[in-house]
């Protein structure tokens, strides 16, 4: 466990150093409805792109960090380092080359090009028809392995179809497994599934092991197998990718539907931070206290109506009270876990981009992309991450509470 924490801390510190120290390596930022790196264009830095559609046809000599509805890495594209992307649809065409790792999350992912590093991701579907020089680690509903993986494949899916080549081991947790006679697995095949699947002769060079997904209990339970540090680290990395995507989705809704309100809160954030911290604590206490008082009042009113034999109103009062309390607590949890972090991320993204005089600093999408990534990394730090998350939640809640109070006092003036 200590080793995992040290590795996690080292990775996070390195990521923060690369993200916040452009003096060591510069970066380019682009946003809009569509971002295109045209064929023949060369970007000599890392590229941060946030748009409805991101298209890469040219060459990026650094890494590409992209978020949007659709991301297309076309056949003429070359990305010298890593591709880190989150989108509904991600397509890496045949002929495209990624010099490092591919870390992706989305609904529909197609990997038909070449990745010199590993492929790590999560999504609904993965179609891998290209080449991955490292490992492939993916979790989704439907995974099709029709290309070549030079090392191990660690997979989780409802349906896994293998018709390509995995040079080493395959470890999978699936509901259904399909192995094509043309498939080749150079090492062992270990599968956890509800039932065994037919494995064509000659497709697996090593040992084949099926583990029942639900074993009947007989006698004493066997102790769980120890989890390796690498498996834990991969699981941790996937958790952070999911967290980043969640912040991006919530942030996109806030920026797209209520930009004035959102950036009004961003502007409030640095003003009197200690007062905002105290205001957040007060807002938390008032909201939870209000929920308890509402519950007590609901019970008392329901009892009174029952005594007066107004039974037709009793269940309606109870339903209204429960829905009101649940709605208030839901809004509190949303503000605590997401809204506050999105607001803090937007402020941090604007501040970092503004510090290096990047024109997109006053935009919407690039500060969101960078800020959400920064907040995800900071709040994932062992021990310190909890304190950062707590401070961000309270300050953000204080800004929201101050806006609500001003709205109540002067409805026409508050944004």
Q: Say if residue 220's pLDDT is above 50.
A: no
Residues whose CB falls within 8 Å of the CB of residue 391, separated by 6 or more in sequence, listed in order? 277
**Per the structure block, which two tokens stand in for 346?**
């937007």
Q: Which of 176-185, 228-237, 265-274, 346-355 has the lowest mean pLDDT?
A: 228-237
Confidence of residue 85 (pLDDT cuts 50, 70, 90): confident
pLDDT 10s digits, 241-256: 888 888 888 888 888 8
Sheet with 27-37, edge to edge strand ranges = 27-37, 46-56, 64-73, 83-92, 102-111, 119-128, 136-145, 153-162, 170-179, 189-193, 208-212
**CA dihedral for 389, 393, 394, 399, sign (positive or negative):** positive
Least confident among 46-55, 178-187, 223-232, 291-300: 223-232
Q: Which residues contact 26 (CB under 8 A, 6 or more apart)?
A: 45, 46
Residues 358-392 pLDDT 10s:
777 777 788 888 888 888 888 888 778 788 888 88
Question: What per-residue confidence (pLDDT) applies to 25?
Answer: 44
Whole-number average pLDDT of the chain:
81
| pLDDT surpassing 80 at residue 212 | yes
The Cα–Cα gap between 378 and 389 comes to 8
Q: Using a cut of 0.75, tell me whether the model's pTM lies above it.
A: no
Say what the pLDDT of residue 214 is: 59
pLDDT on residue 154: 92
pLDDT at 11 over 50: no
Q: What is the pLDDT of residues 336-349, one digit of tens each?
A: 888 888 888 888 88
Token pair for 50: 């946030």
- Rounded Cα–Cα distance for residues 99 and 115 (Å): 6
Kindly list the domain boundaries of the chain, sorted by start residue: 1-85, 229-409
């Amino acid at each position: 466990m200590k080793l995992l924490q040290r590795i996690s801390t080292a990775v996070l510190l390195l990521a923060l150093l690369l993200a916040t120290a452009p003096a060591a390596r510069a970066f380019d930022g682009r946003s809009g409805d569509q971002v295109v790196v045209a064929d023949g264009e060369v970007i000599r830095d890392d590229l941060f792109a946030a748009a409805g559609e991101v298209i890469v046809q040219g060459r990026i000599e650094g890494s590409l960090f992209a978020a949007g509805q659709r991301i297309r890495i076309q056949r003429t594209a070359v990305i010298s380092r890593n591709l880190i992307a989150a989108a509904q649809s991600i397509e890496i065409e045949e002929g495209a080359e990624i010099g490092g790792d591919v870390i992706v999350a989305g609904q529909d992912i197609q990997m038909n090009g070449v990745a010199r590093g590993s492929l790590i991701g999560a999504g609904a579907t993965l179609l891998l028809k290209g080449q991955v020089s490292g490992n492939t680690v993916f979790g989704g509903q439907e995974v099709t392995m029709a290309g070549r993986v030079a090392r191990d494949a660690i997979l989780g899916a409802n349906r896994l179809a293998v018709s390509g080549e995995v040079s080493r081991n395959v470890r999978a947790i699936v509901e259904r497994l399909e192995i094509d006679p043309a498939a080749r697995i150079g090492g062992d095949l270990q599968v956890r599934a509800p039932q065994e699947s037919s494995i064509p002769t000659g497709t697996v060079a090593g040992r084949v092991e099926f583990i029942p997904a639900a074993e009947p209990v007989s006698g004493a339970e066997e102790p769980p197998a120890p989890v390796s540090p690498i498996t834990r680290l991969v699981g941790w990395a996937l958790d952070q990718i999911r967290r980043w995507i969640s912040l991006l989705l919530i942030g996109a809704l806030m920026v797209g539907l209520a930009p004035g309100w959102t950036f009004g809160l961003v502007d409030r954030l640095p003003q009197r931070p200690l007062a905002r911290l105290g205001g957040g604590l007060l807002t938390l206490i008032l909201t939870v206290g209000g929920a308890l008082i509402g519950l007590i009042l609901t019970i008392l009113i329901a009892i009174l109506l029952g005594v007066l034999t107004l039974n037709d109103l009793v269940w309606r009062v109870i339903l209204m009270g429960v829905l009101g309390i649940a709605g208030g607590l839901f809004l509190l949890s949303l503000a605590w876990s997401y809204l506050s972090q999105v607001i803090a991320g937007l402020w941090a993204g604007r501040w970092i981009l503004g510090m290096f005089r990047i024109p997109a600093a006053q935009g919407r999408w690039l500060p969101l992309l960078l800020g959400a990534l920064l907040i995800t990394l900071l709040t994932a730090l062992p021990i310190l991450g909890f304190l950062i998350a707590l401070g961000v939640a309270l300050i953000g809640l204080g800004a929201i509470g101050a806006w609500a109070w001003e709205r109540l006092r002067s409805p026409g003036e508050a944004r």
